[in-house]
Amino acid sequence: MENGTNKLWQKNTIVDKEIERFTVGKDPEMDMYLAEYDVLGSMAHVTMLSHVGLIAPENLPAILDGLRAIHSQIKAGEFTIEPGVEDIHSEVELLLTRRLGDLGKQIHSGRSRNDQVLLDLRLFTRAKIAEVLHAVENLFEVLQAQSERYKNVLLPGYTHLQIAMPSSFGLWFGAYAESLVDDVQLLQAAYRICNRNPLGSAAGYGSSFPLDRRMTTELLGFDDLNYNVVYAQMGRGKMERTTAFALASIAGTLSKLAFDACMFNSQNFAFIKLPAEFTTGSSIMPHKKNPDVFELTRAKCNLIQTLPAEISAVIQNLPSGYFRDLQMIKERFLPAFDQLIDCLNMTATCLTHLTVNEHILDDDKYLFIFSVEEVNKRVLQGTPFRDAYKQVGLEIEAGKFTTDKQVHHTHEGSIGNLCNEAVASRMHELCQGFGIDKVMEAERALLG
């Protein structure tokens, strides 16, 4: 580093400036997402190197203290990748070497930037999955609370966007709560695939150093190893795509909810109403109160749902081994977590404060949604179903249909038996199954 070289691989050749601009791209900006995780990974790696005799035990405390200082700098928002420095790995090693001299140059033994970025991405992704999970849990609680609060308020259900059968706000809110449960199950699967240690695979073919991969696995709180070093490298892109499917599943739930909310908030439906301060206006129409939060949520979540396809487009025709193509995944994958978390939090806030119309079905334009209720009532009184169906149909066509607008559903998951407690139990069990506490304890131990 003393000769001004700021690339870990640079020797005597100076790379053409345009080639450098094109190949580096947005990597320094994207690497800021990974900065704290690069330091954590380095702390585990040097601890292991000392254990196997590649770093003198008496030198380890100084290296760890230096890495902790860089980590604190990152957390305080005081860290940058300097102009001309290629990536986060180069910046951390440069700062450590400035502080410790030749000791700083020892931290790269037994690893490549390939497994270093693999590790950074795994540590980043599992941390962000934990943040997504927390935001999902919060929205789930809001949905369940609103489901219970409005469980006796009816609204029309639709098929083909035609009024169909009675529904309720209990069902509407509760449906999205249960949808999140399935999303969390997929998220947990992604977390399991993510939470395996690739460190020690080096450039994808291992190392002649006697690395203790079990030790770094324990130090970083991973569930287990990616054992095969070639597969560890092949996991780049695959892990991101798997996680992207989980994010897209959550985004799909939010997008559908946002569409419902926009439609139900319109004057033609008037099922729900957002507070005025949660809406935006028009430059020429004084009466407008637009549900922009839900519209933007729908759009942002629809974009997140394209993420698995974008990643697949990059990795689908790559053979085994590392290729620079994989760099392009970062630009869409890394920011997607915060975008989704923002949508989850905004949706929870809006749903908490919206007002529900408790008299929707007083309007007789919804009368026909009770036709099935009337058919079933006659069946229970002894009329064969097909006969009852025809009777009610003819009454509707003749303009003679009347009913008491009463609903009596008792089976599991229906208007009168929402099963919210069972759904909550399933969500709690899934959330507990991630094992995030183990990860947090490992990271706290590394940071002292």
In this predicted structure, which of 83-92, 177-186, 360-369, 385-394 has the lowest mean pLDDT? 83-92
Each residue's pLDDT tens digit, 276-317: 998 899 899 999 999 999 999 999 999 999 999 999 999 999
384 Cβ partners below 8 Å, 6+ apart?
Answer: none
Q: Which domains does the chain have, with CATH numbers?
A: 17-109 (1.10.275.10), 114-362+418-447 (1.20.200.10)
DSSP-assigned letters across all residues of 81-138: PPTT--SHHHHHHHHHHHHHGGGGGGGGTT--HHHHHHHHHHHHHHHHHHHHHHHHHH
Distance CA 434, CA 127 (A): 12
- Whole-model pTM: value is 0.94
Each residue's pLDDT tens digit, 100-144: 999 999 999 999 999 999 999 999 999 999 999 999 999 999 999
Instruction: Decide: residue 367, CB within 10 A, 0-12 exposed, 13-18 middle, 19+ buried.
Output: middle
- What b/e sequence results for 426-440 when a residue is b if at least 16 CB atoms lie within 10 Å of its CB, and e otherwise? bbeebbeebebeebe
Residue from 178, 203, 153, 183 nearest 355 by CA: 153
Q: What is the pLDDT of residue 20?
A: 78
Distance CA 402, CA 391 (A): 12
Which residues does residue 331 pair with via DSSP β-bridges, in sequence order?
A: none
The label of the residue with tokens 């919210």 reads: 420
The label of the residue with tokens 């939060």 reads: 293
Residue from 281, 259, 255, 440 nearest 339 by CA: 255
| Confidence at 10, pLDDT banded by 50, 70, 90 | low
Residue 360 confidence (pLDDT) above 80: yes
- Could you give the C-alpha distances from 121 to 162, 183, 331, in angstroms and in order? 47, 22, 13
Q: Could you tell me the two tokens for 40?
A: 């954590």
Q: What is the pLDDT of residue 1?
A: 37
Q: What is the pLDDT of residue 27?
A: 83
Residue 4 confidence (pLDDT) above 50: no
Rg (Cα) of the chain, in Å, rounded?
Answer: 28
Question: How many CA within 13 A on the CB side of residue 129?
Answer: 32
What does the CA dihedral 196, 198, 199, 200 come to, rounded to 10 degrees? Answer: 130
Q: What is the pLDDT of residue 145?
A: 98
